[in-house]
Amino acid sequence: MLKATDISLSLSGKQILKNISLQAQQREITAILGPNGAGKSTLMKCLAGFQKPDTGKIEIADKVIGDLSGGELAKQRAVLTQHVSIGFPIKGVDVVALGRAAYRNEDISEQNEIIREVMALTGTTEFAERQLDTLSGGEAQRLHLSRVLAQLWGQRNAVLFLDEPTSALDLKYQFQLFDLCSSLCENLNFAIVAILHDLNLARKMTNKTILLKEGGLYRAGDSREIINSNSVCDLYEITEEQFNSL
């Protein structure tokens, strides 16, 4: 589904990513974990096609992302970044409608139905007529989740990237988010890749985990096996006692 081969990248003379190869499969949620500065967000930008690596190849559904047009790529993957800034007044329903920008010939009634469906899924229907800047951080994050779901609505075998998707969500919506992700994987063959900091959440809610250290691939494998005291203590430079207190 998503495959990266020998990805390396340097910025301002500093190597950020070092020969990373990985795969994220359909019907699975893959976590990316690592300490601050490990290269998690930069790796996601490369995987999503926002940043071109110096070397290596990235493929989605056996297609090199550099060969896809912007519209084609928009229908193949969507990205929920940690911070989204829209510098003008906009209603919630119009934020979600931005997700359908790649579907230029879409009938307006069909678009409106998709918007209603995704807002119902994320519990954001009540924000449809609210101005974005009046929403709390968690409410806005759920609204932007609706937007990226709208972008991929009707597609199968797509990739959904999530950068710290639970950072502003309370427990109720954290569980709802991962229930929704599991449903997308099961019913639409999505591959979901999420940057997370919560080790317990990653261990319980994801299928596979990729651990990064200093821009390189440290370990990768089944989340319940790889998120253990040996890996975590070494990666985050903590003691086993500290690990056991998590």
pLDDT for 75: 94
Query: Do 163 and 237 lie in a common domain?
Result: yes
pLDDT for 42: 96
Contact 122, 140 (CB under 8 A): no
- Answer whether residue 230 is part of any domain: yes
Among 154, 188, 208, give the residue marking a domain's end.
154
pLDDT for 161: 97
pLDDT for 86: 82
For the chain, the straight-line distance linking the first and the last C-alpha, in angstroms and rounded, comes to: 33
- Answer whether residue 114 is part of any domain: yes
> How far does CA 125 lie from the centroid of its chain?
22
Domain with residue 242: its CATH number is 3.40.50.300
**Other CB atoms within 10 Å distance of the CB of residue 222:** 12
Domain that holds residue 225: 1-76+157-246
Query: Do 72 and 185 lie in a common domain?
Result: yes
- Answer whether residue 236 is part of any domain: yes
pTM (predicted TM-score): 0.93
Query: Do 188 and 245 lie in a common domain?
Result: yes
Query: Do 136 and 29 lie in a common domain?
Result: no
Instruction: Give backbone dihedrals phi and psi of 89, rounded to 5 degrees, phi first.
Output: -65, 135
pLDDT for 87: 72
Query: Do 145 and 185 lie in a common domain?
Result: no
Query: Do 51 and 150 lie in a common domain?
Result: no
pLDDT for 244: 85
Distance CA 135, CA 92 (A): 9
Contact 168, 137 (CB under 8 A): yes
Query: Do 56 and 92 lie in a common domain?
Result: no
Among 121, 138, 154, give the residue marking a domain's end.
154
Beta strand pairing call for 63-64 and 55-60? antiparallel
Share the mean pLDDT of the chain. 93
Query: Do 110 and 228 lie in a common domain?
Result: no
Beta strand pairing call for 208-213 and 28-33? parallel
Convert the pLDDT of each residue in 34-52 to its tens digit.
Answer: 999 999 999 999 999 999 9
Instruction: Give backbone dihedrals phi and psi of 236, rounded to 5 degrees, phi first.
Output: -100, 0
- Largest separation between any pair of C-alpha atoms in the chain: 58
Query: Do 61 and 105 lie in a common domain?
Result: no
Query: Do 57 and 178 lie in a common domain?
Result: yes
Convert the pLDDT of each residue in 63-110 to its tens digit.
Answer: 999 899 999 999 999 999 887 778 788 999 999 999 999 998 899 999
Structural domains counted in the chain: 2
- Answer whether residue 148 is part of any domain: yes
Query: Do 141 and 174 lie in a common domain?
Result: no
pLDDT for 47: 97
pLDDT for 246: 79
Distance CA 57, CA 147 (A): 28
Among 111, 133, 154, give the residue marking a domain's end.
154
> Which stretches of the chain drop beneath a pLDDT of 50?
none
- Answer whether residue 81 is part of any domain: no
Query: Do 121 and 165 lie in a common domain?
Result: no
- Answer whether residue 9 is part of any domain: yes
